[in-house]
Structure 1
Amino acid sequence: MADDEEVVEEQEVVPVVESDVVIVAHEEQPLAPPKYEVRPRLGQKFQAQNVRDIILSTMQEQLMGRQYRVDQVPRWCKMIANGVRQRVQDLNMQRYKIIVTTTIIETRGAGIKCAQRCIWDPETDDYADNLYRNSSIFCYTICYGVYMY
């Protein structure tokens, strides 16, 4: 694997002068530890409960007291998704890629089925979701936190 390969750094060349002959000496320096992290530190994992609260409060702020309007739904979805993403990024979960999707449908008594699939590391990656509904709107928002190695 690429992580197991040994990294060879350039060595500093120091010329040593002895009478008329120049001898080149190499100073050996130990390798520095890697500067990348493959796991989040304790306390830096995806904060699912905080994100759920952010999702619910953002949906309530945008949709409270509104009735379903097909011409306004794309704008509402963008506002909710961008608002959630920005507020989650403010939690400063370093090295997490934040992905937010929002779905708004009209409440008319019909059902809906949907599925999502992805491949990720269950030790570092996580998601949070929440829903909001009123007499005419059903809104479902999900936020993924994918750790960037």
Structure 2
Amino acid sequence: MDVKPKPEPVPQQGRRGSEFEKSYTKKLLTDSLKDSSLRVTHFDVAEPGEVDDSEQGSSSQSHQEQAKVANTYRMGPVRKFMPHLLQKQIEELLKGTFTGVMYDHSVCKDLADKLADDILKLTEAQGFDRYRYVVTVFVGEEKGQGVNIASRALWDTENDNFVSLSLKNSSIFITAMMYAVYFE
């Protein structure tokens, strides 16, 4: 039996790079964004000790390419939301906005929108990180009727909280609720 050895593969000179090679992917991104207003500002580089053939010619790397940031895996807030810090301030906003106002649909709608924006700005200014806020303001005409307002949500009792305030005069009733939901 005569066994012929396999011939050595001849390397191709104009070979297209693999999508899995970092240098080729970077070149593809840069070329595809060449005519647009977007540009490649950061691309992950090889770990120290690994040699990337596209970076062999440059002796200095930018600070962006050297920095690596890991996930925090933080499951809870650094500073928990504390509703008592906002209770008085929201109550003052509520009274200041609706004191002496008679019910008129268009006026009350605009005041409720403004109040919701003010409550949201006030809450965001407190600096509780990773919290998302939902603010609702209900305004209705007071005619001696009973009103129940309810809400449902998936709730984390450890981190999520809320502030709820009501105001009532001879013409209108107002209920403002602000929910602070921790975003992991």
**Count, aligned residues:** 124
Equivalent-residue separation in structure 2 for 1:56 and 1:142 (angstroms): 11
Distance 1:32 1:55 in 2: 38
Quick check: 1:125–1:146 contact (8 Å CA) kept in 2? yes
1:70 — aligned with what? 105
Which structure's CA Rg is the greater one? 2
2:144 partner amino acid: G
C-alpha displacement at 1:139, in angstroms?
Answer: 0.3
- Equivalence for 1:22: none
- In structure 1, the partner of 2:47 is 11
d(CA) in 2 for partners of 1:84, 1:106: 22
Supply the distance in 2 between the matched residues of 1:121 and 1:62 (Cα, whole angstroms).
32
Corresponding residue SS for 2:105: coil
Structure 1 equivalent of residue 76 of structure 2: 39
Please give the TM-score of this superposition, normalised by the length of structure 2: 0.62
User: Between Structure 1 and Structure 2, which shows a larger proportion of helix residues?
Assistant: 2
Q: Aligned runs of 1:1-149 on 2, under 5 Å?
A: 11-13=47-49, 34-41=71-78, 44-149=79-184
Instruction: Compute the RMSD of aligned alpha carbons.
Output: 2.1
Question: Which digits, 9 at most, give the CA deviation of each residue in 1:17-51, with x for residues without a partner?
Answer: xxxxxxxxxxxxxx98642421012xx11111122
Offset from partner CA, 1:112-136 (integer Å, 9 cap, x none):
1232100021101111111111111
Q: Deviations over 1:76-123 (max 9, x none)?
A: 110110010101111111111011000001111001123210002110
Distance 1:115 1:39 in 2: 27
Query: Hey, which bits of structure 1, 4+ residues long, moved more than 6 A?
Result: none
More strand per residue: 1 or 2?
Answer: 1
The DSSP-based 3-state class of the residue aligned with 1:11 is: coil
Deviation of 1:14 (Å): 5.0
Of all paired residues, the percent bearing the same amino acid is 24
Q: Deviations over 1:46-65 (max 9, x none)?
A: 11112222221111111111
Pair 1:93–1:32, CA change in 2 (3 A): closer
**Aligned-residue offset at 1:10:** 5.3
